[in-house]
A = this chain, B = another copy of it.
Amino acid sequence: MTDPRPAPPRLAAPAEARARFRAGLRTPTSGWCGGWTQANLVAVPADLAYDVLLFAQRNPKPCPVIDVSEPGATSLSVLDGDVRTDLPAYRVHVDGELVAEVDDATAHWREDLVTFLIGCSFTFEDALAQAGVPVRHVEQGRNVPMYRTTLPTRPAGRLHGPLVVSMRPVPAHRVADAVRVTSRYPAVHGAPVHVGDPAALGIADLDRPDHGDPVDVRPGEVPVFWACGVTPQEAIAASRPPYAITHAPGHMAITDVRDAEFVVP
C-alpha cells in the first residue's frame, strides 16, 4: 500500500496539471481537476489500430473510446497537449511484456502510433460524491483498486483478455444510488458490472488488487465493481502484440473535455 498522498489540486485546470506532469510530477490523478474528464491511454502501431478500435466497440463498458488520434499525431481534439509527456506515468509493452515504466514516453514513441483515449470511472466520482456516496480511495488518498477478473472480454482480431474492474465500497443503503448515478454515464463505464461477492469475479482477496492500492471496506459496505479502462492493458499482456504504450494504471490523461459532456439526462 502506498502512503496517503497530499490532497490533489482539485481545482487545477487540465493544462496546468499536464504542465506539472510534463515537468516530472508522478502521481495518480484521482481527485485532480474536478469536473474535467480523465482518460486511459493506449497507443499502438497503425496496423493494430483496427483491432483496438473493434475491441473497444465490442467491449464498450471497459473500453468507451473518447478520441482517436491520426497516426503519428501527438495531440488530439480533446487534449491540447502532447500525449508523449503530459501524463504522470507510462508503460511500454513489447510482445506483451512490460519493459519500462517512465514519466516521459518521448524516447519510446514511434511515428506510426495511433493513440486511443478511453473513458475512466474517475469521471463519475464527482457525481457520486455530490450524491453523498463515499469514494473511499479519494478519501484515503490512494489510487483506486483494480482487479483482473475471470470474466472474458469479447475478442477482436488479435486482441483478447480478461475484464478488469475497479472497486468502490458502498454502504448497503447507498448501492442503489451508486447504480443510479453511474448509469447516467454510459460513455465512461456506466453502471456497475457486479455488486457484491468478489469471488464470483474470480477475485480472491480485495486487499491484493492487481493494480492500484487496496482501500478499507467497512462493516455494512458492499464492494461494487465497475468495468475498468485498464482492460486493454490486460488484453495487451494476454495477446502479446509487438508494441504498445499505455498510461500507468491510475495515472491518467487529463483532457480538455468536461465530465458533463458524458451525462445522459
Contact = CB atoms under 8 A, between A and B. Distances in A.
Nearest to A187: B186
A117 to B, nearest CB: 11
A264 B264 CA distance: 8
Each complex incorporates copies of this chain amounting to 2
Given A50-B50, A53-B50, A53-B57, A265 B180 contact: yes
The interface residues of chain A, by DSSP majority, are classed as: helix
Contact of A264 (B53, B57, B65, B186): B186
B265 A183 contact: yes
A180 B68 CA distance: 30
B50 A58 contact: no
20 contacts: A49-B50, A50-B50, A50-B53, A53-B53, A53-B54, A53-B57, A54-B68, A57-B57, A57-B65, A57-B68, A58-B68, A180-B265, A183-B264, A183-B265, A184-B264, A186-B186, A186-B187, A186-B264, A191-B265, A264-B264
Interface of A: 49-50, 53-54, 57-58, 65, 68, 180, 183-184, 186-187, 191, 264-265
